[in-house]
Amino acid sequence: MSQSLSLFQMHEATLKSAIAAIHDRGFWTPYPEHPKAYSETGDEEGKAAFSRMMNEDFKELLQEGEEGFIGEEVSPYLQLGLGIRYPKFSAETLVTRASEQRKAWANTDKDNRAGILIEALNRVQSRFFEIAYATMHTTGQSFIMSFQASGPHANDRALEAIAVAYDEMSRIPAEKEWVKPIGKFEIRLDKNWKAIPKGVAMVVGCSTFPTWNTVPGMFASLMTGNPVIVKPHPKAILPIAIFIAELQKVLKEAGLSPNICQLAVDVQANPITKHLAEHPAVQIIDFTGSNSFGEYLESIPGKTVFTEKAGVNSCMIDSVKELAPVVQNLAFAISLYSGQMCTAPQNIFIPESGVKTPEGVISYDEVVKALSDAITGLVNHPKMGAGTLGGIQAEATFERVKNASSLGGKILVNSEAIVNPEFEGARVASPALIELNASDASTYFGECFGPVAFVIKTRNSEESLLLMKEAAAEKGAITCAAYCTDEAMMEEIESEMNEVFTPVSFNFTGAIFVNQHAAFSDFHVTGGNNAGNASFANPDFVNRRFVWVGNRRVK
């Protein structure tokens, strides 16, 4: 293990900085988010590397004895199948191989694990452009969002999970001589404490953020000593396959088996997720996706399950300094990646009496028109519209927005097909904005994933807050935005929403949006309401993956 020891020494400074950052909660990253921070030829090389993968078998994985190669990814931009096929293994084979590596990985101390995992992230960094194109053509994200979310931001979240786990496993000393005086005598014991991993872990990925949502659980389980099986969504495999390929290479170089982290692929017609999840050897499950499947996973006896499910994110507008920056910010937050983000605002509560400003009250109708105009102006902007919207990942999401008029209410802004000049056949749809009354809770209390947002007219801001709180308590929420200039009211909003375990973002304008969560500072999901039972990455996110066991010996 001399090589892995050297890896720890190489990356120890990064690990210490990451641990300091999770305690400080200020901005920090070793992975700049802008493409210009990387190779000048990276974009061209990444695009070429992605193109070479199309219509080929993905053979970078160090997993042997496959039953064949499968794959069914489709580009939302090209509206063509990528033709990339991945090695297929049965659930039993994957679990057996993972189980065989339990002791070897558990006996690899935390320094060695950290060195290996951070080295893998460094290798991934050299492929950020390639991963960006892989993400773009599986999820429909724009290039810049794909680069940031699946590259630097995903690496941030992975490193954060490593740092939190390392920090938690360092809280208890490895050994101690214990002395208890008893009159003229004393009892002496040698004690040691071990963080024992729970067993085989699996991570179930989603179709919209195939690395960002996958790597926290993947690296948290690996750092705490559990072998991992990653089961991506069958429509978004390539980005996380590249991550796993790089990790497997580092594991092999360190004298360990690549089967410590395996890729498990399937197709929608023949899924293997339940076979993996219900296998007795699988002890830990991470999941991002629908409520129904998340609740099924949570119901399996004897499993430690971490979920991020659907929620209903709200925004209330009570008072503002200026209206224009507010509606521009909200228009972008609603339109970004066509609302296919778990953090996107869906319900916009506005009092019928209007919105207060230092110059007086702006009427409800004026506020609604300003928001509608801001959305229309953004999506039709020749330079910003198509790039902000990206592509619609799933046919079901596309059908939902096409049929938005069936949801009821008054259509304020119709969804339109927006032409992407680079990919004329891309599946692109602008947001539909629908006006509802406060009494229409049966509609807006449900998640309407994708580019659909509701404006809800309320009696006053007190009712807006009450409805936001009720929606979060009943359905769950990951984010909440509020625009308010009154300090007492802000404190009330924060207090009420925090009671239902929902964070509040106040008065966001300019280049910061409610959709965004920063690693090392913001917790993603609180784990306290129905939107999910886990949080990236608080101590509970890692501590439930291992068990402290203490041993004693008489000296």
pLDDT digits (tens, 9 = 90+) for 484-538: 999 999 999 999 999 999 999 999 999 999 999 999 999 999 999 999 999 999 9
The residue written with tokens 């690990």 in the block is 15
Return mean pLDDT, the chain.
96
Six-digit token string for 436: 């509802």
| Domain spans of the chain, in order of start | 2-309, 314-506
Give the contacts of 390 (CB within 8 A, at least 6 positions apart): 76, 139, 140, 141, 142, 145, 337, 338, 340, 428
- For residue 103, the SS3 value is helix
Residue pair 152/31 in contact (Cβ under 8 Å)? The answer is yes
**pLDDT(2) > 70:** no
**370-396 pLDDT tens trace:** 999 999 999 999 999 999 999 999 999
Q: Where are the beta strands (DSSP E) in 32-154?
A: 68-70, 86-88
Q: Is the pLDDT of residue 260 over 90?
A: yes
Read off the pLDDT of residues 231-240 as tens digits, 9 standing for 90 and up: 999 999 999 9
Q: Is the pLDDT of residue 290 over 90?
A: yes
Residue 5 is predicted with a pLDDT of 57
In whole angstroms, what is the distance from residue 532 CA to residue 525 CA?
7
The CATH architecture of the domain made up of 2-309 is 3-Layer(aba) Sandwich (3.40)
- In sequence order, the 6+-apart residues with CB closer than 8 A to the CB of 161 are 215, 216, 217, 219, 220, 223, 536, 537, 541, 542
- Give the pLDDT of residue 506: 98
Cross-strand bridge partners of residue 554? 189
SS3 label, residue 388 = helix
pLDDT at 4: 44
Give the pLDDT confidence of 453-475 residue by residue, as tens digits.
Answer: 999 999 999 999 999 999 999 99
Q: Is the pTM of this model over 0.85?
A: yes
Query: Bridge partners of 204?
Result: 231, 287
Tell me the percentage of the chain whose pLDDT exceeds 90.
Answer: 97
Q: Is the pLDDT of residue 3 over 60?
A: no
Taking residues 125-139, report their average pLDDT.
98
- Among residues 257, 253, 296, the alpha carbon closest in space to that of 273 is found at 296
Of the chain, the percentage scoring pLDDT greater than 70 comes to: 99
- pLDDT at residue 555 in the model: 83
Say yes or no: domain 314-506 is CATH 3.40.309.10. Answer: yes
> Mean of the pLDDT values across residues 44-66?
97
In this structure, the number of other CB atoms found within 10 A of the CB of residue 302 comes to 7
* pLDDT above 60: residue 224: yes
pLDDT at 187 over 70: yes
- Name the pLDDT band for 1 (thresholds 50, 70, 90): very low
Take residue 543 and report the two structure tokens written for it. Answer: 């501590």
Q: Is the dihedral of CA 490, 333, 339, 152 positive or negative?
A: negative
Q: Tens of pLDDT along 306-346?
A: 999 999 999 999 999 999 999 999 999 999 999 999 999 99
Where residue 25 falls (left for φ over 0; alpha for ψ -120 to 50; beta otherwise) is left
Q: pLDDT tens, 421-438? A: 999 889 999 999 999 999
Q: Write the single-letter amino acid at 310.
A: A
* Of 182-186, 220-224, 362-366, minimum mean pLDDT range: 182-186
Helices then strands, counting H and E runs in the chain, come out as 20, 19
For 554, the 3-state DSSP assignment is: strand
